[in-house]
């Protein structure tokens, strides 16, 4: 009965039409670089799904590993310049492998390289969105990767998991599928706990779930389960489900869409965010933290209200007005993310006060709200 309920919970995949598939480095590569057979198998499955009417966007890691395959005998790159140089060497090999595999199915692909920094501008974000929309209208599959060659370390996406979450909203996808080197989320690290069990479904990504994640990185990438849970937390909070499954499982994609109980399904919240909110939550770096009280949490989450000074207890980090900041409750749980109308120095002065007192405290009257609800995304 339990297994049947899990299968029932995946019936939504039958009606899905827009999909983002993220493929990790560990799926695509081995000790000799790219595994062309694995890429060919995945592309064959994508071609079948396309025939069933699905619109598919692929986020693919593997450029650095592909570069290593062309430079056998060279030490694994460790510094940022070495990794960026290796990515430059391997990116052409990666897109060529997809070109060759999809050519067998008369499908064209387009390469898109993105950086978080390049999408911070709202104008560039919309530019990328319109480019992707046009490619999909032309029935061309976008193959997206981080532009490792120019991305700075502090602004890098984590093994493309966060990039995939961003692409979900750029293409307005209905599900994100992350193909990894693990079967899904386990109730312990299988490498340390042999009796660890796969968790088939997660209704909400909270601390009880994130505690299961190991800090160990993936075999060939920067990610690991921790980064996947962070991506799941983002996309599910925005109303999109996510599946994590083992990419080298036989016919993994077609079996997932047939409803088989494979991997881990992270269920979506009931809300779906639109407009500029996906840009806020996915693209902008979080520059500070506002600790808020229970009353503010209730007002924001249950009643859709803005954040007022009276509900703020403390401020962490220094930032300017317009910065993207995180709101946390007394337990440290992330409640919301949004754009601050005040700098950190002024918020420290007005936190806990009534809006009518703002002018007397800081000498000028800004808005009543520290974060307006139109510039806020609830994460619970």
Task: Tell me what pLDDT residue 371 has.
Answer: 97
Task: Tell me what pLDDT residue 2 has.
Answer: 45
286-378: CATH superfamily: PUA domain (2.30.130.10)
Asked whether 20 and 144 are in contact (CB, 8 A), the reply is no
- Kindly write down the DSSP assignment for every residue of 127-193, as one continuous string: HHHHHHHHHHHTTPEEEEEE-TTT--GGG--STTHHHHHHHHHHTT-SEEEEEESSSS-BSS-TTT-
pLDDT for res 50: 96
Residues 24, 30: Cα–Cα separation, whole Å: 12
Q: Which fold has domain 2-277?
A: Carbamate kinase (3.40.1160)
What is the reported pLDDT for 313? 97
Block means of pLDDT (10 residues each) for the chain, 380 residues, are 55 93 93 92 98 96 88 80 87 95 98 84 89 97 85 55 89 95 87 86 85 57 73 87 96 95 91 81 90 97 95 97 95 93 96 92 87 91
Residue 7: per-residue pLDDT: 53
Report the pLDDT value the prediction gives residue 363, as an integer from 0 to 100: 87
Each residue of 287-314: b (16+ CB within 10 Å) or e? bbbbbbeeebbebbeeeebbbbbbbbee
- Phi, psi dihedrals of residue 102, rounded to the nearest 5°: -75, -25
All structural domains of the chain with their residue ranges: 2-277, 286-378
Q: Which pLDDT score, from 0 to 100, does residue 379 have?
A: 84
């Amino acid at each position: 009965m339990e297994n049947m309920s899990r299968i029932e919970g995946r019936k939504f995949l039958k009606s899905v039409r827009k999909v983002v598939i993220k493929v990790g480095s560990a799926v695509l590569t081995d000790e000799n670089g790219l595994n062309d057979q694995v890429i060919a198998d995945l592309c064959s499955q994508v071609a079948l799904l396309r025939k069933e009417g699905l619109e598919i966007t692929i986020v693919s890691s593997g450029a650095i590993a592909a570069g290593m395959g062309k430079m056998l005998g060279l030490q694994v790159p460790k510094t940022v310049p070495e990794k960026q140089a290796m990515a430059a060497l391997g990116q052409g090999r990666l897109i060529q492998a997809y070109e060759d595999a999809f050519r067998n199915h008369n499908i064209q692909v387009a390469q898109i390289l993105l950086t978080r920094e390049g999408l911070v501008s709202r104008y560039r974000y919309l530019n990328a969105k319109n480019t992707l929309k046009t490619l999909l209208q032309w029935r061309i599959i976008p193959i997206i990767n981080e532009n490792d060659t120019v991305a700075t370390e502090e602004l890098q996406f984590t093994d493309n998991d966060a990039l995939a979450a961003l692409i979900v909203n750029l293409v307005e996808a209905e599900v994100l599928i992350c193909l990894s080197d693990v079967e899904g989320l386990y109730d312990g690290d299988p490498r340390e706990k042999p009796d660890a069990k796969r968790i088939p479904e997660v209704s909400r990504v909270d601390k009880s779930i994130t505690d299961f994640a190991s800090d160990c990185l993936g075999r060939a990438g920067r990610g690991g389960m921790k980064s996947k849970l962070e991506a799941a937390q983002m996309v599910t909070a925005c109303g999109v489900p996510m599946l994590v499954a083992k990419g080298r499982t036989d016919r993994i994609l077609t079996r997932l869409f047939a409803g088989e109980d494979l991997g881990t399904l992270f269920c979506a919240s009931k809300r779906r965010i639109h407009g500029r909110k996906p840009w806020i939550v996915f693209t902008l770096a979080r520059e500070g933290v506002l600790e808020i009280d229970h009353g503010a949490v209730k007002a924001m989450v249950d009643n859709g209200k803005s954040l007022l000074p009276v509900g703020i207890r403390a401020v962490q980090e220094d930032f300017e007005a317009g910065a993207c900041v995180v709101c946390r409750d007394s337990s440290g749980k992330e409640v919301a993310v949004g754009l601050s109308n005040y700098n950190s120095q002024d918020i420290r002065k007005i936190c806990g006060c009534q809006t009518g007192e703002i002018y007397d405290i800081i000498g000028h009257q800004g808005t009543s709200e520290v974060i307006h609800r139109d510039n806020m995304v609830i994460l619970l």
